[in-house]
Structure 1
Amino acid sequence: MTRTRLEFDREQLRTFYTNRGFADFRVVSAVAELTPDQEDFYITFTVDEGAEYRWGEVTVETELETLDEDFLKRLLRIKKGEIYNASQVEDAIDTLNFAAGTTGYAFVDIQPDIRRNRETKTVDLVFNIVEGPRVYIERIDIVGNTTTLDYVIRREMELVEGDAFNRILLDRSKNRVRALRFFEEVEITETQGSSPDRAVVEVKVKEQPTGELSFSAGFSSADAFLVDLSITQRNLRGRGQLMRFVIRASSNRREIDLRFTEPRFLGRNLAAGVELFDVVIDFLDEAGFRQSRTGGQVTLAFPLTEYTSLSTRYSLRQENIEFPQENQCPTINADAANGTINPSNQQLFSLCQQVGGRLSSIFGYTFRWDRRNDPITPTRGFDVNFSQDLAGIGGDVKYLRTDIRANAYRGLYKNVIASASLSAGYIRGWSGEPVSINDRYFKGNFEFRGYENAGIGPRAVLYDPLTGETTRRLNSLGGNAFGIAATEVSFPLGIPSLLGSLFVEAGTVGLLDEDFKYDTGIDPITGEQLTAELQYQKTIDDLSIRAMAGASVFWESPFGPIRFDFTKPLKQYDYDDRTSFQFTTRTRF
């Protein structure tokens, strides 16, 4: 036992009590005694807790012109009447420093004046904000980058040599460097330079592998088997360029994808990318069709402000829809033209209207607004993505698609994070064109937990004309609009490799074009209900809200990451394709 360790324990006791209201707490004595066997020590601390205090008046005082005292006070989490907590003072100083930095004051000195009132058992607190001494950056040193070129890191820094030292901008620079995902660790420190008003900033990084040659195999309740062969280099030649080649196959998807991205095109703050792809998606079990897409895309992305960015893109792709019974289409189309189509063929007729190949020419953009405090594991802030795609300037397909996704994060306790998300989309044909089935929204799987692929939304069903009850679920039809909202709380499970979460989700899919709605149990002339047949077909599209609650477990197993989802419906319909358990896993070798 050493005196240093004993002093550390005394300080830990003091911190424990002063963070719980006991402002007068003191350690009266600390006595160490040997045990009878002369091998260990008994440590006896005598403490005086004192009375419990609460916060009194909390004020902010400053003579700096652009700082509003009332506004700064509202930023503080210290509230009058709450239990006194000494650690809140340091947190408040950090908050005020950040607020002052955002208004242009890089050099401020915040002096807390703590006034203890033993009669009322309250603690008054005054934060005095004055302008501190000015310091400028003399030099920025990059250390530890064995692969990444210096300029790749420097271009993410929001400060350069000669700028006024600003802790806020340095913190933002650290997040920008971390967001590259090239480094296992990023640490920014500062030391005094050649004079008291000069600082040397050191950016110390620890490289991590950015190239990946992987063969992955897995199994999930959604895709059944999954095989993934990919070659990826996220930091090509140390220049920050991305190169990726992927071959992916599962029970309902086959994909070949090649892409390249230059993050500083022509030496400007402009990211340019090109992509070639060949994708086949099998919806035979869910919606009765298979689609293929072959083509390419070019992308340009650039920042608008510190927190916003815009990416633009153009895609040209050849698309094709096919289904097993498409050889019957000439006969079915002829019967429909003559008004003699068999009611049982109505769903096939709907697919026959869309079968075949078409060329899609699509212009689009995405606006991003990111105010997260951390780009990898956020505990505060939000991000918003708004995108639109216009098809029809050339090609055979005409539509306007609008999508939005927003997420908000809040740290509740250490490693306990609450999040909320909202996603919505709407697609509409123009120039009289309906939206084809391969361009509609199909939701389920892990986009809406608790449902199978394409498990919710407009659907063809068989129904009893006498009771109106659904007797059999047929194909999913997809929708022109969707909306999904979710809240989730994630937390550690006490084992390093396990993470759990509780969630609630609600959403809907619908607004199918009228061209693809039908009810074979309604007389098309009189509008009366028919009863000659035992069952009729119809489409259900009513934007009904579904709601689901559940829990997830994430396990970083020795064989790869595994995720389990357990769900219970709060609101559902008998024609939905629901599941109460989902999992997914993959491994590399």
Structure 2
Amino acid sequence: MHFATRGSGRKLRAGISVIGLMAVLTTGLWGPEARAQSFRFNDIRVEGNERVDPNSIVSLLDLPRGQTVSAGELNAAYQRLQNAGIFETVEIAPSGSTLVVRVNEWPTIRRINIEGNSRLDDEELTALIDSTPRRVYAPNVAESDAAAIADAYQQSGRLAATVTPRIIRRGDNQVDLVFEVAEGSVTEIERLSFVGNRDFSDRRLRRVLATKQAGLLRAVIGRDTFVADRINFDRQLLTDFYQSRGYADFRILSVTNELARDRGAFFITFNVEEGPSFDFGAVTASSEIPGLDAAEYLAVSQIDPGDTYSPQAIDNAVTRMERLAIRNGLNFVRATPQITRDPRNLRLNVNFVLERGPRIFVERIDIEGNATTLDRVIRREFNMVEGDPFNPREIRAAAERIRALGYFSNADVEARDGTGPGQVIIDVDVEEQPTGSLSLGGAYSTDSGIGLNVGYQESNFLGRGQTLSFNISTGTDATSSNLTFVEPYFLGRDLAARFSIFYDTSDFDEADYNTRVVGFSPALTFPVSENGRLQLSYRLAKESILDVDADSSPIIQREEGAAYTSSVGYSYTYDTRRTGLDPNSGVLLRFGQELAGLGGDSEYIKTTASGTAQTRVWNEEVTLRATLEGGAINALNGDTTRITDRFFLNTRQMRGFERLGLGPRDTNAPNEDALGGNMYAVARLEADFPLGLPEEYGISGGVFFDAGSVWSLDDTSGFGGNAVDDGFSLRTAVGVSVFWTTPLGPLRFNFAKALSKEPYDRTQVFNISVSTSF
């Protein structure tokens, strides 16, 4: 950090000392008492003061009248006046039996201006300074303010910024305080490199760090500027990355920050020592508590010999064991992992020792800093209340959950000794941050064309931890809007209650009919296992098929009009992407059913299922992903499904074909509208990999293979009485993708070739969409 401050403040203070010293040593003023280094005075006369009361100055001197005063005592009195910070000059001079004190007060600040700043606005910088208009100017405070402003520029990557405080004299002993800012250029990170890494490439490790290299988008990417505080965060990210992959001995030996000669760029080098990768060896449990079955607790560890070693796996196992003890009615049980090394086989043997912990109880939980968020929103993240046994692991877990809420910029949770033995007090100190967002943006895809998105979301509504959101998305041929309210802890339990109102319309270029769907849907979601969640929902909607063209298939013409759908449903989700022990692999499974017919016009049962698995290979450079999904809708009581209920495959589900481009189609109708199907199935195989371009450009590539179909209709009587072919016919496509992470969002460019198709299918070679991550 570099900042310049006006030297007049220091010069003035030096002048004060000289004046005072001359006053003390001038023999014409002191007389015989001065030569004896002592004197006596009966009165104190103050001169030059305008705002400060004379009695206050006399009180600061703290000198006795009528008594002998040494030169040292007089100097100490002088120092007290000087250090009070309210006088520009101070002079002390005895005159007979009177001590004359002449002062020149610091001027009052009339106005504060910040000049030369463009990257950081006045409001942001003014909030950092302590100098205030209509108060006395203090040079040391102005210098501190300049340092604070310069530090703000350092945090934004402008290390060469200088800040100079200056005063402009005005009448009536007033000044204008001006901070002159020379912002300088952004100090970018020209290169991030690593020394000592053997198993992972520099490119792979750069993706781990929050800091990025400067590249093509340096004008809009903020993470490529040098911020010293971010390096410590990067060190932790890098350590977690290696340790979660079995590198128990990983160390960061040093991090060097080398500034270029022109001070415009940094070269950062991480010097690491990887060490070998370990697997789990023997995993055992032993009990020091009479009557406690160690085998029962070992069974919940979910660690198998041969698994890659991970501190997170051990932490999860300890948490499961201690929670099992609580469910069994045993408090203060601690599972302590003891690790022994088998260096020959690169194995780490783990023995979980079940033992009694100290008998400590929670006296109370104190929460501070939450001006808006209610206490109960924070308290519900604790799995304990006052009077419960104290568990340090649960406190750390609660702290992580509080931080994960997103309501606070900082959240510290600490335990301290209580008022009595065996008691602790848990202090929660939070700093709130804005939780509302208003978004306005545009979008483009080959499916929906050019669109406008407007959205509002408040994730901590009225400080209750509730979510309220409203979104409108418009495209060339579709409009979607919804209002959603979520209570994450309904009835004080881990039970999310959601209520949504929706209004959707479509006017597809590929079809000569329009649709409109309006309705509402309440739902309840709750956990049923560590990785599984179940959702129960209800849906009431009015679904309309409008403006059906005369050239459309008679099947669609018979479905024209409005129908009410009243349905109940459930969906189960199993997700190991965050809780799985393998950081390179994950599974996401979904299964759901919807039963319509509880009133309304439609009667059917709809079933959908999907599964996605992902893993990284070749030193985590290549990501392999496989997805299988399908669905079926069965009309009940002789009813037939409508086009608003049936399945279609969009360009994300099946590449190489247009939206509404495959499936049953009335080829005898003039416009050959797609009819959708009662069943669908699709499989996608993908591989994503780097293209050798600089990682900071955010461009990577991929290949894919898709196979799927849509089939089955209840009504097959088409144009001219001809039957529509609704049989199963497999379509396949291959292609390549280019992924580009832009400031506007991650984009995906697909180039596809349909390998197998029906003559009436409509293919698509190229499409653009927003990329979604697994």
Verify same fold: TM over 0.5: yes
Distance in 2 between residues matched to 1:266 and 1:233, nearest whole Å: 21
Pick from 473, 482, 486: which aligns with 1:261?
Answer: 486
| Cα 1:409–1:235 shift into 2, 3 Å | farther
* Residues 460-539 of structure 1 mapped to structure 2, 5 A cutoff: 460-461=666-667, 474-488=672-686, 495-496=695-696, 498=698, 500=700, 502=702, 504=704, 506-516=706-716, 538-539=724-725
Tell whether the 8 Å contact from 1:101 to 1:166 is kept in structure 2 after alignment: no
Structure 1 residue 422, shift from structure 2 partner: 3.5
2:593 is equivalent to residue 388 of structure 1 = yes
2:566 is equivalent to residue 366 of structure 1 = no
Tell whether the 8 Å contact from 2:371 to 2:432 is kept in structure 1 after alignment: yes
Higher RCO (C-alpha 8 Å, min separation 6): 1
2:430 is equivalent to residue 244 of structure 1 = no
User: Could you say which residue in structure 1 is the equivalent of 2:434?
Assistant: 209
User: Could you say which residue in structure 2 is the equivalent of 1:578?
Assistant: 763
Structure 1 residue 155, shift from structure 2 partner: 1.6
User: Could you say which residue in structure 2 is the equivalent of 1:555?
Assistant: 741
Pick from 553, 557, 564: which aligns with 2:748?
Answer: 564
* Residues 43-192 of structure 1 mapped to structure 2, 5 A cutoff: 58=282, 60=284, 62-63=286-287, 65-67=293-295, 75-76=303-304, 78=306, 88=309, 93-94=314-315, 97=318, 100-101=321-322, 103-104=324-325, 107-114=334-341, 126-132=349-355, 133-134=357-358, 137=362, 139-140=364-365, 142=367, 145-166=370-391, 169=394, 173=398, 176-177=401-402, 180-183=405-408
User: Could you say which residue in structure 2 is the equivalent of 1:40?
Assistant: none
| Cα 1:269–1:76 shift into 2, 3 Å | closer
| Cα 1:440–1:107 shift into 2, 3 Å | same
Distance in 2 between residues matched to 1:213 and 1:101, nearest whole Å: 43
Pick from 258, 279, 298: which aligns with 2:504?
Answer: 279
Q: Secondary structure at the match of 1:248?
A: strand
The more displaced of 201-210 and 213-222 is: 201-210
Tell whether the 8 Å contact from 2:628 to 2:681 is kept in structure 1 after alignment: yes
| Cα 1:191–1:350 shift into 2, 3 Å | same
Distance in 2 between residues matched to 1:172 and 1:138, nearest whole Å: 19
Distance in 2 between residues matched to 1:304 and 1:122, nearest whole Å: 39
| Cα 1:362–1:540 shift into 2, 3 Å | closer
Structure whose alpha-carbon radius of gyration is higher: 2
Structure 1 residue 139, shift from structure 2 partner: 5.0
Tell whether the 8 Å contact from 1:441 to 1:509 is kept in structure 2 after alignment: no
Tell whether the 8 Å contact from 1:555 to 1:562 is kept in structure 2 after alignment: yes
Tell whether the 8 Å contact from 1:491 to 1:499 is kept in structure 2 after alignment: no
| Cα 1:515–1:299 shift into 2, 3 Å | same
Identity %: 28
TM-score computed with the length of structure 1 as normaliser: 0.68
Q: Deviations over 1:141-177 (max 9, x none)?
A: 5566454323213223334444445576557646654
Q: Secondary structure at the match of 1:373?
A: coil
| Cα 1:178–1:461 shift into 2, 3 Å | farther
Q: Deviations over 1:451-471 (max 9, x none)?
A: 3322332233369xxxxxxxx
Structure 1 residue 313, shift from structure 2 partner: 3.0
| Cα 1:415–1:286 shift into 2, 3 Å | same
User: Could you say which residue in structure 2 is the equivalent of 1:230?
Assistant: 455
| Cα 1:518–1:394 shift into 2, 3 Å | same
Tell whether the 8 Å contact from 2:748 to 2:769 is kept in structure 1 after alignment: yes
Q: Deviations over 1:398-420 (max 9, x none)?
A: 21112223444556667976554
Tell whether the 8 Å contact from 1:486 to 1:503 is kept in structure 2 after alignment: no
Q: Deviations over 1:78-118 (max 9, x none)?
A: 58xxxxx9xx58577546535644643851222223366xx
Distance in 1 between residues matched to 2:279 and 2:704, nearest whole Å: 37
Distance in 1 between residues matched to 2:522 and 2:395, nearest whole Å: 33
Structure 1 residue 264, shift from structure 2 partner: 3.8
Structure 1 residue runs without a partner (length 5+): 1-8, 25-49, 80-84, 327-344, 464-471, 525-535
| Cα 1:396–1:96 shift into 2, 3 Å | closer
Task: Output the amino acid matched with 1:108.
Answer: A
Structure 1 residue 56, shift from structure 2 partner: 12
Tell whether the 8 Å contact from 1:461 to 1:540 is kept in structure 2 after alignment: no
Structure 1 residue 253, shift from structure 2 partner: 0.8
Structure 1 residue 179, shift from structure 2 partner: 5.7
| Cα 1:512–1:439 shift into 2, 3 Å | same
More strand by share: 1
Tell whether the 8 Å contact from 2:540 to 2:565 is kept in structure 1 after alignment: yes
Structure 2 residue runs without a partner (length 5+): 1-193, 199-237, 250-274, 327-332
User: Could you say which residue in structure 2 is the equivalent of 1:337?
Assistant: none
Task: Output the amino acid matched with 1:280.
Answer: T
Structure 1 residue 308, shift from structure 2 partner: 4.1
Tell whether the 8 Å contact from 2:285 to 2:294 is kept in structure 1 after alignment: no
Tell whether the 8 Å contact from 1:261 to 1:271 is kept in structure 2 after alignment: yes
State how many pairs are aligned. Answer: 494
Distance in 2 between residues matched to 1:397 and 1:22, nearest whole Å: 58
